[in-house]
Amino acid sequence: MTYFQSKAKHYRLIIFGIVNFIISLVLFYLIFLNIDLKKFLNLMNSINVNLILLCVLLSITQVLLNCMRWFALANQVSRGINFIFLFKHTYMVCFLGQVLPSSIGGEAYKIIASRVITSSLKKSIIITLVEKYIVLMSLIFLILVSFYCFNSILIYWVSSLMNFFLLAGLFLMLIIFLLYNLKRINIGKKFVRKIKIIFYRSTNFIWNKKLLIYILLISFLSHINLLLIFKLVASSIQIQLDFFEMSYIFFIIFLFSQLPISFGGWGVREATAVTGLALLGVSPDEAFTISTLFGLLFLVSYSPAILFGYKNFEFLYFKLVNKKKN
């Protein structure tokens, strides 16, 4: 019975992956149909190589920031983690995020790696969920701040979208507030009390204000670093965008590209880039080129992870097998 259940799970994962791939392919193709190929190739030929090399350097900085965030959380469970060791695995997480369903493939690898480091599957899942939660919350915060501070365009559907993000941000903050103050809430039922005890025993290592603020700050830096890369990619093909004015549009593009409905954000990123950058007067050809270059940049920058990827997988596999035997 267990065999058939696991087989069914594998089939579901395969179907999920195929659906994501089809969505990416269809969206990318539909956008590409409306692009002037000659203009696209001319823009690609006008690339400033020096700016692209700077973007590659910043993309490696992105891996470093992601590693620092993961290291801070994992270090609460298991002291003495080797930072270089974790950096290699973060590099692999970033690469998998570019070639597998967005924010799913890389995070699955991260859970496995965290389990080896912390010797706890439960805490590994919590580490990954907390990190994703804070990343999402910080991104929505930046969308709202950049929109209300730097936006000069008044369009109904954009304002409606911002109202949705405002509600989502408040909801995420409310959940954090309730979870943080759960201990103080006195509920008489024994069942609820038991749940509270189990919850705090499982998550006690994350309820540290300094830790959460530190992770939040790294998340802000991470998002701003991505914004800078996007700006430089646009500049590399002689498209000058105002850093602050384009910020909320980029953060929305990035948010949608992280939804688990595509491979590495492909297709979804191009569709939102063409729609969003049109508000700033950027043509579909230019927006498509910027988005495609942005995606290719990270794909190429993170591809070296393949060189030590096999050793990483082999190491994690043998560690997990030895733990099961013991």
Residue-wise pLDDT tens digits, 254-307? 999 988 888 888 999 999 999 999 999 999 999 999 999 999 999 999 998 887
Backbone φ, ψ for residue 101 (5° rounding): -45, 130
* Nearest CA-CA partner of 264 in 292, 295, 241: 295
User: How large is the average pLDDT for residues 167-191?
Assistant: 74
pLDDT-derived band of residue 321, with 50, 70 and 90 as boundaries? Answer: very low
Domain tally, the chain: 1
CA dist., res. 261 & res. 24, Å (int): 8
Q: What percent of the chain has pLDDT over 90?
A: 43
* Nearest CA-CA partner of 23 in 197, 258, 262: 262
User: How large is the average pLDDT for residues 201-215?
Assistant: 80
**pLDDT (0 to 100) of residue 214:** 94
Q: How far is CA 250 from CA 200, 257, 287, in A?
A: 37, 10, 11
Task: Give the tokens for residue 188.
Answer: 């008489």
Task: Give the tokens for residue 175.
Answer: 């959940």
CA dist., res. 231 & res. 288, Å (int): 14
**pLDDT (0 to 100) of residue 313:** 56
Decide which of 325 and 193 is more confident.
193
Whole domain around residue 42: which residue ranges? 2-325
**pLDDT (0 to 100) of residue 188:** 55
Is the pLDDT at 309 greater than 70, yes or no?
no
Claim: this prediction has a pTM higher than 0.85? yes
